[in-house]
């Protein structure tokens, strides 16, 4: 069964089209108008082995908030649809990713109960032109729309670029693990309740 979803979302603030293939090879075609966000989404695609296409136009003349959050919303909605009824998936995933002096951890439960625990701090307000506070907004929008429980923790790090990149790579690897099909599980739902 193909786990591929294409979505569009248009508001007065953003216009986003996105295609996600959970069983891809890590190919990315990203154009949000925000260079650093493009870089992070490309890393997410590559290290999660998801094929991801994102085209976004937003009110960047105001700031980057709406575009960043709305891309997180649409990516989360696409992930939720692509994962389907969760039959046969591993459900849980975690990754601890080093990047030079930085160490970031992500843990995921594809539970149907959205939550974000964000334990990441920055020493600067911006990376290039992007506000560092927007990364928490992206991760929250993604987690709540994907209906996943997501914990992201900075264990070490001083370089803000490294911190963000390690967080995205950790999310990618944790999602890859959690969304993979478990051959021992068959088509069962990984829950004692029988549903997620």
Summarize pLDDT for 35-92 with one digit per residue, the tens.
Answer: 999 999 999 999 999 999 999 999 999 999 999 999 999 999 999 999 999 999 999 9
Mean pLDDT of the chain: 97
Burial of 186 (0-12, 13-18, 19+ CB in 10 A): exposed
Task: Specify the pLDDT at position 85.
Answer: 95
pLDDT-above-90 percentage for the chain: 96
3-state SS, residue 104: strand
Judged by phi (left if over 0) then psi (alpha if -120 to 50, else beta), residue 165 lies in: alpha
Enumerate the domain spans of the chain. 4-179
pLDDT at 103 over 80: yes
Q: Residue 194: what pLDDT?
A: 85
Q: What is the mean pLDDT of residues 115-122?
A: 98
pLDDT tens figures, 128-140: 999 999 999 999 9
pLDDT for position 49: 98
Residues 131 and 63 sit within 8 Å (Cβ to Cβ)? yes
pLDDT at 94: 98
Sign of CA dihedral 104, 38, 177, 6: positive
CATH topology of domain 4-179: Ribosomal Protein S5; domain 2 (3.30.230)
The span from the CA of 41 to the CA of 33, in Å, is 12
At 95 the pLDDT is 98
What's the pLDDT score for residue 52?
Answer: 98
pLDDT value at position 148? Answer: 98
1 pLDDT tier (thresholds 50, 70, 90): confident
At 56, is the secondary structure helix, strand, or coil?
A: strand
Q: Report the first-to-last Cα separation within the chain, whole angstroms.
A: 19
Residue 79 in contact with residue 146, Cβ under 8 Å? yes
């Amino acid at each position: 069964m193909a786990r591929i979803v294409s979505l569009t979302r248009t508001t007065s603030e953003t216009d986003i089209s996105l295609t996600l293939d959970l069983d891809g090879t890590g190919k990315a075609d990203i154009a949000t108008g925000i260079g650093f966000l493009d870089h992070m989404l490309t890393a997410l695609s590559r290290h999660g082995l998801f094929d991801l296409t994102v085209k976004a136009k937003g009110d960047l003349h105001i700031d980057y908030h709406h575009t960043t959050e709305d891309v997180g919303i649409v990516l989360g909605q696409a992930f939720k649809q692509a994962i389907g009824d969760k039959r046969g998936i591993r459900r849980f995933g975690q990754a601890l990713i080093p990047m030079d002096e930085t160490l970031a951890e992500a843990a995921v439960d594809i539970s149907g109960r959205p939550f974000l625990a964000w334990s990441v701090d920055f020493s600067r307000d911006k990376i290039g032109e992007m506000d560092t506070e927007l990364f928490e907004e992206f991760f929250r929008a993604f987690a709540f729309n994907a209906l996943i429980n997501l914990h992201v923790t900075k264990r070490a790090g001083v370089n803000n670029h490294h911190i963000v990149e390690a967080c995205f790579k950790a999310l990618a690897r944790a999602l890859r693990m959690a969304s993979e099909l478990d051959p021992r599980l068959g088509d069962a739902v990984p829950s004692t309740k029988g549903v997620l």
